[in-house]
């Protein structure tokens, strides 16, 4: 069972602390006919709600019943009459007719998909010329705080088996995200006009927007808020299951993985001792788009 499908995973925390996406990203993926849009791995429904004004119907799907329930609670019909949510996997959309969808999107979920089964299903439900747009964000940087950035990357990397890091606790798909979805490749016999837009942040504290590419995912967060964002990581959730006695300090414990990480960061950068302080954050990201032949 994946982490997000477990009853112990908090869908509401994910909704509260994960970053959002700017209008510029949505403008990039919106093109052509706009009758039906489907979101795969919809999470708490953020993208479905954002795209609702542009389509006659938006359907958010997710394999987790708990996450679908959270999406429905966050999207009351009185405010989002065009949006519905269905429990379904990306590879098995039986409720959709052939050629019935104009746009399929997946934000921070494509790394979970079984590509051998995904692409035929995408080609089935998309109309001719219909668009798919998958995007995701990887490790973040603190714009002005290079020591914490490099420590964070070291301690959260999926490319290590060091038990003092999160490496052993990631699902295999995390490596796909860190590689900016380059392992997600639409088959050329089904799709055309493949386009990739990426951003690689600068890790050396050179300031906002100093990375390479097109910046889509950024935020200004309190230290406390960023800690709670880290706690939405599937790897942190898995780490916590293996270390139940390491309770976060804000809940009266002696410190969890996140607390201990920022203890180390505060040895070199004093700001991490003050949870009310605000920091600018940027994420490396990738947007993949293609059209059905």
- In this structure, what CATH number is given to the domain that contains residue 246? 3.40.50.150
CA distance 161 to 32: 46
C-alpha dist (Å) from residue 269 to 144, 266, 292 = 10, 5, 49
Record the pTM: 0.90
SS3 content of the chain, % helix, strand, coil (to 5): 35, 25, 40
Segment 43-72 shows an average pLDDT of 96
Identify the DSSP state of 75.
S
pLDDT of residue 2: 52
> Are the beta carbons of 4 and 173 closer than 8 angstroms?
no
pLDDT > 70 in the chain, percent? 94
CA distance 84 to 72: 8
**pLDDT for 277 beyond 60:** yes
Rg (CA), the chain: 19
> 184: number of CA atoms within 13 Å, CB side?
32
**pLDDT for 156 beyond 70:** yes
pLDDT of residue 266: 98
SS3 62: strand
Q: How many domains does the chain fold into?
A: 1
Segment 96-120 shows an average pLDDT of 97
pLDDT of residue 31: 81
Mind listing the pLDDT tens digit for each residue in 1-41? Answer: 454 444 444 445 555 567 899 999 999 999 878 999 999 99
Segment 170-186 shows an average pLDDT of 96
Start-to-end CA span in the chain (Å): 35
pLDDT of residue 16: 59
Segment 194-214 shows an average pLDDT of 97
Give the range of the structural domain holding residue 265, as residue numbers without chain letter. Answer: 3-292
CA distance 130 to 150: 40
Segment 246-261 shows an average pLDDT of 97
> Are the beta carbons of 134 and 184 closer than 8 angstroms?
yes
Among residues 85, 69, 61, 90, the alpha carbon closest in space to that of 12 is found at 69
SS3 216: coil
Segment 196-220 shows an average pLDDT of 96
Segment 32-51 shows an average pLDDT of 95
Compute the mean pLDDT over every residue in the chain, rounded to the nearest whole number: 93
Residue 230: CB atoms within 10 A of its CB come to 20
**pLDDT for 215 beyond 60:** yes
């Amino acid at each position: 069972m994946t982490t997000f499908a477990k009853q112990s995973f908090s869908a509401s925390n994910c909704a509260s602390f994960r970053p959002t996406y700017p209008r510029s990203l949505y403008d990039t993926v919106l093109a052509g006919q706009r009758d039906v849009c489907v979101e795969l791995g919809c999470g708490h429904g953020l993208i479905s709600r954002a795209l609702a004004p542009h389509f006659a119907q938006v359907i958010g799907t997710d394999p987790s019943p708990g996450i679908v329930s959270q999406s429905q609670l966050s999207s009351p019909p009185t405010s989002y009459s065009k949006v519905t949510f269905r429990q379904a996997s990306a590879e098995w959309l039986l409720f959709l007719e052939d050629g019935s969808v104009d746009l399929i999107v997946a934000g921070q979920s494509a790394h979970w998909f079984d590509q051998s089964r995904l692409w035929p299903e995408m080609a089935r439900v998309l109309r001719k010329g219909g668009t798919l747009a998958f995007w995701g964000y990887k490790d973040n940087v603190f714009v002005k705080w290079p020591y914490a950035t490099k420590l964070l990357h070291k301690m959260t990397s999926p490319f290590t088996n060091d038990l003092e890091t999160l490496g052993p606790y990631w699902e295999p798909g995390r490596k796909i995200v860190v590689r900016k979805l380059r392992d997600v490749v639409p088959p050329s016999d089904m799709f055309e006009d493949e386009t990739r837009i990426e951003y690689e942040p600068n890790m050396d504290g050179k300031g906002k927007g100093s990375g390479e590419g097109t910046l889509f995912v950024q935020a200004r967060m309190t230290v406390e808020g960023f800690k709670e964002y880290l706690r939405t990581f599937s790897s942190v959730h898995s780490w916590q299951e293996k270390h139940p006695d390491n309770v976060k300090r804000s809940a009266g414990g002696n410190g969890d993985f996140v607390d201990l990480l920022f203890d180390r960061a505060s040895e070199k950068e004093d700001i991490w001792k003050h949870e009310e302080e605000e920091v600018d954050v940027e994420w490396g990201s990738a947007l993949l788009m293609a059209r059905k032949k």
